[in-house]
Amino acid sequence: MQCTATQPIDGVTPLRTSKLFGGEHSAAQPGPGGRGAFKAALVEPRPGMVVGLYNGNGRDELRVNLLNDSRYVHFSCLLGGTSQGRVRGIAIAPRVGEGHIGYAPGERFSVWYSPDYRHLELMLTPEMLGELVGDEFERIGDIQSGFIMRATPPGSRTIDAATRLAQRVEHPGASPLLLHAAVLEFLGWHFEGLNRNGVQDAVPLRERRRLLAARERLLEDLSAPPTIAELALEVGLNQLKLKRGFRSLFGMGVYSLFQRHRMERARELLYHYNVTETALMLGYSNISHFSTAFRKQFGVLPGEARKNTLISVQCPSHLSSGISGSA
């Protein structure tokens, strides 16, 4: 299943999630501007597995009441904007890049999204989740209780995995294997986040927001990164806090993160362009330097990777059995 829809929001009747996830987009309450809308792109790689990417219209807030009449376990990540929600009297306010795990069949939700929100959701039936993760299933909580709400701290790997999966949803013509691999990677980092010791929480909220803004600015143009000084000035941090903050929040230095994304983009471009064209598009004037950087990240030269057509996608090792078992 693939569908894309842009839907105006009106009315007060709770939106049934089965209609939303099934591609029948409707219902919710208008924001202060008198309107509300969202754009949804949905893919169903396998029965019992749905991936949804939701974007605001850039103008209006979105307020919606939801009635969860589906059986999905939800693994989500806010990629942009702001979101707030409430269920069973519990306030939910996810941060950008934070993983969230939810299971609440039959529950009513109220949610609010800013006009610029961007939200990724992986929905799995309990049976599909069990098939993919095996004994790891119980780590999310007691599903027999009928209610699970858990968050994992934001980190670069969760954000990166969410971004890659979002790209697969927006461009569904790529290999189904790559889509499935992206699903497993996104799922894997949610489970990895359950073990995370909360180092990211040691970064003050205001500083964390500036670091996330710096990361977004850094990755705007993968052919020409800003200098450390420029980046620090733009987000209002001194250079030392910027560099330390990147290591604390994202687990790597500023240019290490940039280079990692640059090479990921190179890997995608090599499906459509030759090595020289790819290198030039990413700002390399020296093809040898590009080849060295590519081999450092992927272990093969870009020419070899291009010949293989399908370049291997790394998945969490503890989920490798899930790939072979579900193929």
Statement to judge: residues 162 and 224 lie in one domain: no
What is the predicted pLDDT for the residue at 34? 34
Tell me how far CA of residue 305 lies from CA of 259, 281, 310, 318, in angstroms.
18, 17, 8, 25
More confident residue, 190 or 306: 190
In a domain, 158, yes or no: yes
- CA nearest neighbour of 123 among 31, 45, 197: 45
Considering the domain architecture, whether residues 287 and 250 belong to the same structural domain is answered as yes
pLDDT at 260 (0 to 100): 83
Q: CA–CA distance from 274 to each of 221, 281, 298, 309, 313 (Å)?
A: 20, 11, 17, 12, 20
180 shares a domain with 52: yes
29 and 133, same structural domain?
A: yes
Q: How far apart are CA 85 and CA 100, in angstroms?
A: 12
Q: 1 near 43, Cβ under 8 Å?
A: yes
Q: What is the mean pLDDT of the chain?
A: 78
For 18-29, write each residue's pLDDT tens digit.
666 544 333 333
CB-CB neighbours of 323 under 10 Å: 15
Report if residue 173 sits inside a domain. yes
The values of phi and psi at residue 50, to 5°, are -130, 135
Number of separate domains in the chain: 2
Residue 200, both tokens: 């990211």
Quote the pLDDT of residue 223. 94
Q: Do 157 and 12 reside in the same domain of the chain?
A: yes
Residue of 228 and 173 predicted with greater confidence: 228
Q: pLDDT tens digits for 246-286?
A: 877 776 789 988 998 898 889 888 888 999 999 999 999 99
Same domain for 43 and 130, yes or no, is yes
What's the mean pLDDT in 223-227?
94
Q: Within 13 Å and on the Cβ side, how many CA atoms surround 133?
A: 23
pLDDT for residue 202: 57
SS3 117: coil
Q: Last residue of some domain: 164, 195, 226?
A: 195
22/138 same-domain check: yes
List the CATH number of the domain containing 289: 1.10.10.60
Q: pLDDT band for position 178 (50/70/90)?
A: confident
pLDDT of residue 151: 81
Q: Are residues 180 and 217 in the same domain?
A: no
Tell me the angle at which helices 156-170 and 176-193 cross, rounded to the nearest 10 degrees: 150
Signed CA dihedral, 251, 257, 260, 264: sign only: positive
Q: Indicate the range of 31-35, 95-99, 139-143, 148-152 predicted with least confidence.
A: 31-35
- Residues 96, 210, single domain; the answer is no
Say if 314 falls within a structural domain: no
Do 138 and 236 lie in a common domain?
A: no
Q: Are residues 71 and 100 in the same domain?
A: yes
On whether residue 277 sits in a domain, the answer given is: yes
Q: Measured between alpha carbons, how far apart are the two ends of the chain, in Å?
A: 18
pLDDT exceeds 90 at position 136: no
Is residue 313 in a domain?
no
What is the average per-residue pLDDT within 299-319? 58
Q: Average pLDDT in the 164-186 region?
A: 86
Domain, as residue range, for 29: 2-195
Q: 289 with 189, same domain?
A: no
Asked if the model's pLDDT at residue 82 lies above 70, the reply is: yes
Q: Cα separations (Å) of 224 from 205, 259, 285?
A: 29, 11, 12
Instruction: Answer whether 111's CB lies under 8 Å from 173's CB.
Output: no
Instruction: Using alpha carbons, select from 81, 86, 19, 30 the residue that is nearest to residue 52.
Output: 19
Domain contains 326? no
**Contact yes or no for 41/170 (Cβ under 8 A):** yes
Q: Considering the domain boundaries, does residue 70 fall inside one?
A: yes
124 burial (CB, 10 Å; 0-12 / 13-18 / 19+) is buried
What is the domain-level CATH number for residue 167?
A: 2.60.120.10
